[in-house]
Amino acid sequence: MRLRLMAAVGILAFPLSAADFLAEGATVLHLRPAPRWEATLYTRGRYNFERQRWADLSVSPGVSYRIHPAVSLKGAFYFTSYEFFPGKRTMIYRPFAAVEPEVRMAALTLAARTRVERFFIAGGLPDFNRFRQRFRVSGHGAWAPYAFVEVYFTAHGFTRTRYAAGVVHRLYGAHEIEFSYYYERSRFTGQGLRHIVRTVVHLHFGGPQEGD
């Protein structure tokens, strides 16, 4: 069981080759029915250029609640069609819970997110938990740059580090478009790397959230 669990964690930690290059397109629908509440629907596809096929297709409904102007609780459930090996797709079901305090200043915002996930994998692979800690700094304005670093752990220790930089551009109304780059290193693959170029469209409906 331990070997099968380590295999599952290792495969999910990416990459399967020395370096994977992926492009991600995503949309996020944000609905704010009340000042402290936000419901989201996140959809994404990640295309692997080396394999010339979609490696990850996901949809995730979620909800967040701002318990304080500077602290949010978040939860969501991912449904993912994942290509473990060329031509073999597997369903992964992944609920998560997170807490994210932030410090908002005139020119930038500092945030630290703690996230706990549970993986349920079809096909007989064992379930497991994953823990993530992210530290993010972001600017304000019509073109708001950001950067963050995030570390990943399971019961067997450290698995991955993700570095990211990007910019969020406010479009007409409250809608936004985001461009970013992820650089990842996994301890399961030696010097193996993953590079992800992302474009995300955020569509906002409802009033402003308390603390905005």
**CATH number (domain holding residue 116):** 2.40.160
Regarding predicted confidence, which is higher, 196 or 12?
A: 196
Express each pLDDT in 114-151 by its tens digit: 999 999 999 888 999 999 999 999 999 999 999 999 99
HSE toward the beta carbon, residue 109, CA cutoff 13 A: 19
Express each pLDDT in 56-90 by its tens digit: 999 999 999 999 999 999 999 999 999 887 778 99
Mean pLDDT of the chain, nearest integer = 89
Residue 180 is encoded by which pair of tokens? 């970013």
Residue 5: is its pLDDT beyond 50? Answer: no
pLDDT of residue 20: 86
Q: Would you say residue 102 lies in a domain?
A: yes
Q: Would you say residue 212 lies in a domain?
A: no
HSE toward the beta carbon, residue 205, CA cutoff 13 A: 9
Q: Would you say residue 165 lies in a domain?
A: yes
Residue 7: is its pLDDT beyond 50? Answer: no
Residue 52 zone, left/alpha/beta (φ > 0; ψ -120 to 50; rest): left
Identify the weakest region by mean pLDDT among 86-90, 177-181, 200-204: 86-90
Bridge pairing between strands 88-104 and 71-85? antiparallel
How many percent of the chain have pLDDT more than 70?
86
Alpha-carbon separation of residue 54 from 7, 35, 87, 93 (angstroms): 21, 37, 10, 18
Q: Would you say residue 197 lies in a domain?
A: yes
Number of domains comprising the chain: 1
Q: Would you say residue 211 lies in a domain?
A: no
pLDDT of residue 18: 60
pLDDT confidence bin for 208, thresholds 50/70/90? low
Nearest to 184 by CA among 200, 173, 195: 195
Supply the range of the domain harboring residue 56.
2-206
Q: Would you say residue 72 lies in a domain?
A: yes
Residue 183: is its pLDDT beyond 50? Answer: yes
Amino acid occupying residue 173: G
Residue range 33-49: mean pLDDT, rounded: 95
Residue 158: is its pLDDT beyond 80? Answer: yes
Q: Would you say residue 187 lies in a domain?
A: yes
Residue 15: is its pLDDT beyond 80? Answer: no
Q: Would you say residue 69 lies in a domain?
A: yes
Q: At 4, which helix (H) or strand (E)? A: helix 2-13
